[in-house]
Amino acid sequence: EVELVESGGGLVQPGGYLRLSCAASGFSFSNYWMSWVRQPPGKGLEWLGNIKEDGSATNSVDSVKGRFTISRDNVKKSLNLQMNSLRGEDTAVYYCAREIPGQHVALDYWGQGTLVTVSS
Amino acid sequence: QSVLTQPPSVSGAPGLRVTISCTGSGSNIGAGFDVHWYQHLPGTAPKLLIYGSNNRPSGVPDRFSGSKSGMSASLAIIGLQAEDEADYYCQSYDSSLTAVVFGGGTKLTVL
């Protein structure tokens, strides 16, 4: 059974940093692109970026470029999101998700999410 | 403001049919990029309902269907059930933004 479990969320001060992880199981992790998506309180979903199967390429939205970095460890079957220079507007539930191969970022499995709160 | 426009809310009685629209532009849906649809219940993981504009993943009931025409896409739900009450999001790719984009979401209420 495919399972994605995020961890690492919590309360952080503005300007601080946090590293989220997503543990994958039940599928061949190294064969899939993976994405990060977030949902601020009371708002809709926002795609943050993704990473290629072997980690050799990433894409990200302008709002997080230069602050957030996506990486992966295919041996540990782990997806990571390093978040620096955090702002209040980064407060959200963060989800990792698996992409269907060849379907241009159709996300077929999602984790339950981890809450990040940026506040002083 | 989302690049893909969805109605904030729709409603329907049990057993009836509702549609949720997703309107884009020439740099996303109109450019031929696929549209995907998700169902999201608060506090849970979003669920993929439709991918590639009109394909259902295994396990998704055939009460759900998708279509795309021009710069718009639609999700149709027939035989509404109480369990369908949720938020629904469309998603595509925008070549101007070079990013995946979601619609603002539509809250479905089953009356």
End-to-end CA gap in chain A: 40
pLDDT tens-digit profile of B89-108? 999 999 999 999 999 999 99
Identify the DSSP state of B56.
P
Nearest CA in chain A to B56: A108
Residues of A in contact with B40 (CB under 8 A): 45
SS3 A106: coil
Side-chain-side CA neighbours of residue A96 (13 Å): 30
- Name the pLDDT band for A65 (thresholds 50, 70, 90): very high
Does the beta-carbon distance from B93 to A105 stay under 8 Å? yes
Q: Does residue B87 surpass a pLDDT of 90?
A: yes
Residues of A in contact with B98 (CB under 8 A): 59
- Mutation for A interface: B100, B102, B106, most A CBs within 10 A: B100
pLDDT tens-digit profile of A87-109? 999 999 999 999 998 877 899 99
End-to-end CA gap in chain B: 28
Is the CB of residue B76 less than 8 Å from the CB of residue B90? no
Element containing residue A50 per DSSP (H, E): strand A46-51
**Using CB atoms, which residue from B48, B91, B97 is nearest to A108?**
B48
% of chain A with per-residue pLDDT over 90: 95
* Cβ-proximal residues to A75 (8 Å cutoff; 6+ apart), any chain: none
pLDDT tens-digit profile of B12-41? 999 999 999 999 999 999 999 999 999 999
pLDDT of residue B103: 97
- The arrangement of strands across the sheet holding A68-73 comes to A3-7, A18-25, A78-83, A68-73
pLDDT of residue A101: 85
- Mutation for B interface: A5, A36, A45, A60, most B CBs within 10 A: A45
Does the beta-carbon distance from A45 to B93 stay under 8 Å? no
**Residue (of B54, B67, B107) closest to B85 by Cα position:** B107
The verdict on A120 touching B (C-beta cutoff 8 Å) is no
Q: How far apart are CA A33 and CA B73, in angstroms?
A: 25
pLDDT tens-digit profile of B63-74? 999 999 999 999
Rounded mean pLDDT of chain B?
A: 95
Which phi and psi (to 5°) does residue B80 adopt? -50, 140
Residues of B in contact with A95 (CB under 8 A): 45-46
Q: How far is CA A46 from CA A28, A39, A94, A116, in A?
A: 26, 6, 10, 14
Does the beta-carbon distance from A44 to B103 stay under 8 Å? yes
Does the beta-carbon distance from A44 to B102 stay under 8 Å? yes
Is the CB of residue A117 less than 8 Å from the CB of residue A91? yes
* Cβ-proximal residues to A56 (8 Å cutoff; 6+ apart), any chain: none
